[in-house]
With several copies, the nearest count.
Chain A
Amino acid sequence: MSDPGRQGRFGEYGGGYVPESLVAACREVEEAFREAWVDPGFRGSLARLLAVHIGRPTPLTPVRRLSAELGINLLLKREDLAHTGSHKINNVTGQALLASRMGKTRLIAETGAGQHGVATATVAALLGLKATVFMGERDIERQALNVFRMRMLGAEVIPVGTGSRTLKDATSQAMRHWVGATEDSYYCVGSVIGPHPYPWMVRTFQRVIGDEARGQCASELSTGVPDYVVACVGGGSNAAGTFAGFVDTSARLVGVEAEGGAGAALGRAGVLHGARSLFLQDGHGQIVEAHSVAAGLDYPGVGPEHAYLRDLGRARYVTVTDDEAISALVRLARTEGIVPAIESAHAVAWVIRAAGAGELPSGATVLLTLSGRGDKDVSTLKEQL
Chain B
Amino acid sequence: MTLETRLRDRRDAGRKLLMPYVTGGITPTWVDYLRAFADAGADAIEVGLPFSDPTLDGVTIQQATDAALARGATARDILGDISGLEHDVPLVASTYYNLVVHDGPERFCAALRDAGVTGLIVPDLPLDEAGDLEDAAASAGIDLVLLASPATPQPRLDEIARRSRGFIYAVSLMGTTGERSVVAESATTLASRIKRSTERPVMVGFGISTPEHAVEAARSADGVIVGAAVMRRVLDGAIPHDVGADLARMRRALDQERDRR
Could you tell me which A residues sit within 8 Å of B by CB distance? 7, 15-25, 162-163, 168-169, 172, 175-176, 179-183, 269-274, 276, 279, 281, 284-287
Contacts and interface: CB of A to CB of B under 8 A. Distances in A.
5 contacts: A16-B126, A21-B151, A22-B151, A179-B174, A181-B174
B56 A19 contact: yes
Given A17-B125, A24-B152, A286-B52, 7 more contacts: A16-B126, A20-B148, A22-B151, A169-B53, A172-B53, A180-B175, A180-B176
B124 A19 contact: yes
Given A18-B126, A24-B153, A25-B151, A163 B52 contact: yes
B184 to A, nearest CB: 11
B22 interface: no
Contact of A20 (B51, B54, B149, B176): B149
B217 interface: no
Interface string B55-77: 11110001000100100001110
Contacts of B146: 20
A269 B101 contact: yes
Contacts of B58: 176
A281 B56 contact: no
Nearest to A286: B52
A279 B52 CA distance: 12
Contact of A180 (B75, B99, B127, B174): B174
A172 B128 CA distance: 21
Range of interface residues on B (Cβ < 8 Å): 35 or more
A165 B45 CA distance: 32
A284 B152 contact: no
A169 B124 CA distance: 16
Nearest to A176: B176
Contact of A19 (B53, B69, B147, B153): B147
In the complex, which of the residues A15, A19, A175, A287 has the most CB atoms of chain B within 10 Å of its own CB atom? A19
A287 B147 CA distance: 24
Contacts of A22: 151
A163 B124 CA distance: 19
B152 A20 contact: yes
A176 B171 CA distance: 14
Contacts of A16: 126, 128-129
4 closest Cβ contacts across the A-B interface? A285-B102, A21-B149, A180-B175, A286-B52
Contact of A272 (B75, B98, B123, B126): B98
A274 B128 CA distance: 12
Contacts of A24: 151-153
Contacts of A287: 52-53, 98
Contacts of A23: 126-128, 149, 151-152, 156
Nearest to A175: B55
B55 A271 contact: no
A281 B102 contact: yes
Contact of B126 (A20, A175, A180, A276): A20
A15 B103 CA distance: 19
Contacts of A162: 62, 66
